[in-house]
Amino acid sequence: MAIVWRMAASLRVVFLGLAGVGLAGMGQAGAARASEVQCWYENGAVVAPAAFGDMAGDFIIDTSAPRSLLLEDRAQADGIDTPSATLDLQFAGERLAGVEMPLTNLNERAVGFPTTINGVIGWDVLRRYRVEIRFSPCRLTLSRGGRRRPAAGAVRLALREADGAAAIAATAGDGTRVRRGLYAVDTASMGTRFSPDDTSFSPPLPSKVDPTWRFKLPARIRVLEVDGLLFEKTPAGLLPKAPTGLSGAIGLAVWSRRSLTLDGPGGWLELGP
């Protein structure tokens, strides 16, 4: 029996102007170093300023993307005509030497933004850090070193990796059928999206992908359970090219309800109170 779908409500957009990078010390159960940047959250994605070589501008922050990506037009304007580029990346107060970014057109990902999207910062970069995202106001913090106990009232989950993407175990259902599996932790789209492989669970894949798929999903999933936390009637749709080993992706309609922390080296995800 297919999941019961309902039309999604219109999205409430939060826009924040970009600001400079600030540095702040953090420590709990051991020394740690942290750096922070103001981000903004719009059209179902977290966006933050970064510089890839001399190419500075706005980048989508996507923990479900196995690779960081560079806008093809932006690269060519800087004289790059190779399939990928390897340059230093400056992001949230951190400088990473020799980061490789394949070139892509980013047409679908850039739809709906009032600013030019220069690229995507993916899990290949973010997995090196403890990444904390607060949504109101939008702030992104990168930390290295030290241990951190769960915050009071927070829920900590095991963070896994599937086909290069950050992922967690979750269960979706309609009261009769359930679909349990690994879902990418998606910070670049709004709803829960399912792999179309199980056609008994998902509606047929549309013949043409809507370029607004990140933030305008056609339906709602009745219930989504993540380690005992229940989320009802969240926006839902299909994920046309789900990475191998993933049942789908869970987006910011779920994660933005709390502060979100992903610790790549430590292997955990935390939803703050």
List the structure tokens of 19: 């600001």
CA dist., res. 103 & res. 73, Å (int) = 9
Q: How many CA atoms lie within 13 A of 218 on its CB side?
A: 14
Half-sphere exposure of 161 (CA within 13 A, CB side): 16
- Tell the CATH superfamily of the 21-144 domain: Acid Proteases (2.40.70.10)
**Angstrom distance (rounded) from CA 79 to CA 197:** 41
pLDDT at 97 over 80: yes
Q: In sequence order, which residues have a C-beta less than 8 Å from that of residue 65 and are 6 or more positions away?
A: 120, 122, 123, 165, 188
CATH code of domain 155-271: 2.40.70.10
pLDDT per residue over 258-267, tens digit each? 999 999 999 9
Bond prior to 240 in cis (omega within 30° of 0): no
Q: Do domains 21-144 and 155-271 have the same CATH topology?
A: yes
Q: Provide the token pair at 213.
A: 């798929």
Instruction: Indicate the average pLDDT of the chain.
Output: 82
pTM of the model: 0.83
Supply the DSSP symbol for 244. Answer: T
Cα separations (Å) of 214 from 86, 93, 218, 255? 28, 28, 11, 15
Q: What pLDDT, on the 0 to 100 scale, is given for residue 142?
A: 96
pLDDT computed for residue 127 by the predictor: 97
∠ Cα 161 93 47 (to 5°): 60
Enumerate the domain spans of the chain.
21-144, 155-271
Q: SS3 of 109, please?
A: helix
Per-residue pLDDT, averaged over 33-60, amounts to 92
